Structures are given as C-alpha cells and as structure tokens.
Amino acid sequence: MCIIFFKFDPRPVSKNAYRPSKLADFWGNNNEILSGLDMEEGKEGGSWLGISKKGKLAALTNYMQPKLDKDAKGRGELVTHFLTTEVDSFSYLKKISTEGHLYNGFNLIAADLNTNKGDVFCYYGNRGEHDPIVLSPGKSVIFI
C-alpha cells in the first residue's frame, strides 16, 4: 500500500504560518542547497527542511511544549548548519546532542545520501534519548 500526504497552498509561508519565510530555492556556495528560509527577525537563515547537491538532507520539527524559552537558540540553524558542513549526519547529531539544552524542543533527522554505505538516516530529539540513533531501513514516524 502506498500513501501520499500533502497540503497544497501556494502562499509562501513556513511551518509556522505567522512567520515570514522565503520560498524553497537554491542558495549557499554555488547554489548547492535547496530549502525554504526563515526570515523572522533574529532567526533569519534558519530552515526546517533542506537538501544539498552533495547528498545531505535535514528535516526539523518542533517539539510541542507548554512554555518556550524566548532566549533559546533558533532551531532552524540546526538544519542550515548541517547542510553547509562536511560532517556526516551521525557525527553532527552527536555534537548537537551535547548542545540540545540550548534550544527549545525539537526533532531532527539528518541524512547522508548515496554514501559508500548507502543512504544513512539519523535522528536526534532533545527531549528524549541523550544520544542520536541511526535509523534502520523501513518506515519511521515522529510524533510531536
């Protein structure tokens, strides 16, 4: 069985409809990264979903929590930093796991596509396990 989930809305907004954002487009050195970009003051340049021509993919969801820390670092930078580094997905998430307390709640998937090991998908959330995990092939769901 195959299922496709999508929402069609041609207006350029981010995952938080009240925040200004840029439509998905190529950016970075040699226009090698494709993503939407957050344009909210103080959070400019962050993203929630992106992929690079080098085979790096990142997807971010916010972890719902009753009270947000207004002084926390912008979570969108986690995606853009990963897409612009040469670090593999697991090593990147391992580093982020030591800094997770600096952000409001999040779930982050980072992937290296077409490596000599095949595609490698990793997950880290700063409200759960202390260490990132390498995802096994198959279907995965993140509940927030």
In terms of residue numbers, what domain contains 34? Answer: 21-134
Structural domain includes residue 14: no
Residue whose C-alpha is closest to residue 43's, from 134, 127, 97, 104: 104
Structural domain includes residue 47: yes
pLDDT score for 14: 47
With a cut of 70, say whether residue 142 has pLDDT above it.
no
Q: Please tell me the distance from the alpha carbon of residue 4 to that of residue 10, in angstroms, as a whole number.
A: 18
Residue whose C-alpha is closest to residue 52's, from 75, 24, 19: 24
Structural domain includes residue 5: no
Q: Which amino acid is at 24?
A: A
Confidence of residue 82 (pLDDT cuts 50, 70, 90): very high
Q: Structurally, how many domains does the chain consist of?
A: 1
With a cut of 50, say whether residue 61 has pLDDT above it.
yes
Span 99-113, average pLDDT: 95
Structural domain includes residue 111: yes
Confidence of residue 110 (pLDDT cuts 50, 70, 90): very high
